Structure 1
């Protein structure tokens, strides 16, 4: 771990780390973020791993401005008004994913929406510009710990789990960004934060309040609502040790049952980081006409396996057809 002043050279080095799939902690006006390339599934998996984050909650992707955001989400007139007033700044907008958007499915927790914002901190802006890609970044601390507003907080919480920390001094806002869902019929406040409800309503009129607005450990909750996570249309069978001819198999490890209609292996070498990176894309690939059910091999309940199994249990929520074994 390296804690460095944000010079042109150190920012360029940090950008290189991001493009290489590594993690960098950096200051924003809200809190310090643990950044990874938002278009790189493996880098996003590393964020969850470093934080010890217990579920694959959606992560916020950080961009320079509204023009950049349009590459990744389906922009709207309402988004335009809000960005004109609050960007760069502590407001995150949740918008439908643009067709062909390169944002990682793991970063969006498999949802068809993307949480996106443009930070105002000059170091964050310089890093995004130098990296040339969106940066996925939750707060730079272990999951459940207090959000970091200084570089030393990041070092104390994450240690060697992050190769570089850009020390931009204390964060000015000190609380996370407000999260506003624009994918709903009425804009919905999912998380209160640095942009006030009153200021938002002064721009776009009344907004709805989510029943799942996080309280307490708000920074460690999903920017959206957990129950809205992507679930496949096909029933899901967990802990599968054999497979039927009409099933698609989500495999794990080197020893894979034969006979499935279609098989994708999360990680032939049983690497949980690789498995996490592949989870949502492979689950979607198996959710296709002709496949009667998706069978999932056992995943270890350790490390990232806890998050993988959490997501799979949600995908296999009991509707009377899903089974184990």
Structure 2
């Protein structure tokens, strides 16, 4: 039998009643439970009406939504990009729980996730404010989806100051994944959510990745299977002229430029913010995406076999080290390169395949106990820009061209 939750859900007094009814969960010695959720049973109508046909899915989503709405705890859930670690963006204690579970630097702001544009206007934006027209073509084409935009924080904004790291803007997106969107709709609460991994570790694309990093630190993980995109959302700032792409991600810069003439001159922000520079969005300042093993990134190496073999023979890696190779378009199989390579994985031949497999294979070979991970870089067109952004932050060393 189909159960229907009318939407958008009625907005209750989100500041007073929201906190007064809050149940405090003990944050110590938590038992982390994995809750199965069937994304195929979730539907959104043209008016944002949510329907869930599977009873177990509905109950597990309601369990997680209750944590978001009525406690200071956080839950992990799948999005189309990576798994997110979500808490109420309106509650200081919930946002602090995110930072604490991840061991995340306090000046690294969070992205706010909404279930609908009407929810964004109803809860987060000042009365009478209109989203700048420069964003309209992007929202029309990429929402719901892996695109995040920057908006100003109003004087009376209900957002926690810890979401924005006390900056005058906040980052917001509407995820496409039905589980993520349903969780936000059921709680009727904008959710602050970075990736659901320990800080600096590769982002999680499976529920098992989240459990590996955060077991005992959060109460629930909603398991919706593998994430489709595999890298985080693209973040753009249309409040400046010319507009800026702050973080490459699931929407390519080529797609942004082709969306509208206002975005044809979009410029790319530098890869990292300075020590004293404010961080407008996640991924601009700190080292990220790093496994325990040392990552060596090879770029401009179409002669991959020769370059990798020369690097291995240079004695830069100890003789008894365990080595894994992640290859894609040009590198030959490990057996043709060097007998020192013990493990290899094929990331794929297309940008979308490499994006989807990147974090998964970084984690997989790392958990096999290797000491070094050699990764074949890709060109920075289309999905390649986001892939290389992540790899450059994960790499201990970059080998450029034929090894010297």
Which of these two proteins has the greater Rg computed from alpha carbons?
2
Q: Would the alpha carbon gap of residues 60 and 131 (structure 1) be closer, same or farther in structure 2, given more than 3 Å must change?
A: same
Which of 268, 275, 282 pairs up with 1:223? 282
Task: Say whether 1:68 aligns with 2:119.
Answer: yes
Secondary structure, aligned partner of 2:176? coil
Give the superposed CA RMSD: 2.0
Shift of 1:221: 9.3
- Output the CA distance in 2 between the equivalents of 1:105 and 1:224: 19
Mapping of 1:79-90 within 5 angstroms? 79-90=135-146
Which residue does 1:40 correspond to in 2? Answer: 91
Secondary structure, aligned partner of 1:36? strand
Which residue does 2:253 correspond to in 1? Answer: 197
Which of 68, 84, 101 pairs up with 1:50? 101
Q: Would the alpha carbon gap of residues 225 and 96 (structure 1) be closer, same or farther in structure 2, given more than 3 Å must change?
A: farther
Mapping of 1:260-271 within 5 angstroms? none
Task: Say whether 1:9 aligns with 2:9.
Answer: no
Which residue does 1:164 correspond to in 2? Answer: 220
Could you tell me whether the CA contact under 8 Å between 1:58 and 1:224 is conserved in 2?
A: no
Note the alpha carbon deviations across 1:267-317, whole angstroms, 9 max, x for none: xxxxxxxxxxxxxxxxxxxxxxxxxxxxxxxxxxxxxxxxxxxxxxxxxxx
Which residue does 1:110 correspond to in 2? Answer: 166
Could you tell me whether the CA contact under 8 Å between 2:77 and 2:86 is conserved in 1?
A: yes
Note the alpha carbon deviations across 1:233-283, whole angstroms, 9 max, x for none: xxxxxxxxxxxxxxxxxxxxxxxxxxxxxxxxxxxxxxxxxxxxxxxxxxx
Could you tell me whether the CA contact under 8 Å between 1:27 and 1:33 is conserved in 2?
A: yes
Moved more, 32-41 or 184-193: 184-193
Structure 1 residues without counterparts, runs of 5 or longer: 215-219, 227-325
Task: Say whether 1:206 aligns with 2:257.
Answer: no
- Output the CA distance in 2 between the equivalents of 1:54 and 1:29: 25
**TM-score of the aligned structures, taking structure 1 as reference length:** 0.65
Which residue does 1:151 correspond to in 2? Answer: 207
- Output the CA distance in 1 between the equivalents of 2:245 and 2:272: 7
Which residue does 1:31 correspond to in 2? Answer: 82
Could you tell me whether the CA contact under 8 Å between 1:190 and 1:223 is conserved in 2?
A: no
Mapping of 1:227-306 within 5 angstroms? none
Note the alpha carbon deviations across 1:23-69, whole angstroms, 9 max, x for none: 00000000000000000011101100000113331100000122222
Shift of 1:88: 0.4
Which residue does 1:256 correspond to in 2? Answer: none
- Output the CA distance in 1 between the equivalents of 2:246 and 2:78: 23
- Output the CA distance in 1 between the equivalents of 2:195 and 2:103: 12
Which residue does 2:50 correspond to in 1? Answer: none
Structure 2 residues without counterparts, runs of 5 or longer: 1-31, 38-56, 274-278, 286-404
Secondary structure, aligned partner of 1:106? helix
Following TM superposition, where does structure 1 have runs of at least 4 consecutive aligned residues deviating by more than 4 angstroms? none
Shift of 1:208: 1.5
Shift of 1:225: 5.8
Q: Would the alpha carbon gap of residues 213 and 187 (structure 1) be closer, same or farther in structure 2, given more than 3 Å must change?
A: farther
Secondary structure, aligned partner of 2:256? helix
Could you tell me whether the CA contact under 8 Å between 1:32 and 1:154 is conserved in 2?
A: yes
Note the alpha carbon deviations across 1:55-89, whole angstroms, 9 max, x for none: 33110000012222234245111122211110000
Q: Would the alpha carbon gap of residues 26 and 221 (structure 1) be closer, same or farther in structure 2, given more than 3 Å must change?
A: farther
Q: Would the alpha carbon gap of residues 142 and 130 (structure 1) be closer, same or farther in structure 2, given more than 3 Å must change?
A: same
Aligned residues: 222
Secondary structure, aligned partner of 2:184? helix
- Output the CA distance in 1 between the equivalents of 2:280 and 2:237: 15
